Amino acid sequence: MLARLRVRAVGDESPDTPRSVDGAAVRITGERSVVYDRPPVVEPEPALDGEVYVGGTVEGWVALSVAEGEQGLMLIFEPLFSFDDDAVRFLALE
């Protein structure tokens, strides 16, 4: 499946430091509680990839793979090189 995401940087710490946003940080899960691997494909342009400052946004496509019939889909955004669970975000898909 393809998802077009718009990511906005929030927070008040280090407002002068950009955050790196990359589609590789996005995974998907569902009601079966399986975190699926990303498929080896090239996303359409623009792919989700860039740097964003607090208050700014970056937008792009992410390719994901999920089992047929999987329900309750949820995106998992875990920034690369993040060693703190506070940076992980879960987004329900409807």
Residues whose CB is less than 8 angstroms from the CB of residue 54 and which lie 6 or more positions away in sequence, other chains included: 9, 10, 11, 12, 14, 15, 19
Residue 51 has pLDDT above 90, yes or no: yes
Residue 58 has pLDDT above 90, yes or no: yes
**What proportion of the chain, given as a percentage, has pLDDT over 90?**
57
Please report which confidence band the pLDDT of residue 31 belongs to, taking 50, 70 and 90 as the band edges: very high
Domains and CATH numbers, the chain: 2-92 (2.60.40)
Residue 82 has pLDDT above 90, yes or no: no
Give the mean pLDDT of 55-64.
94
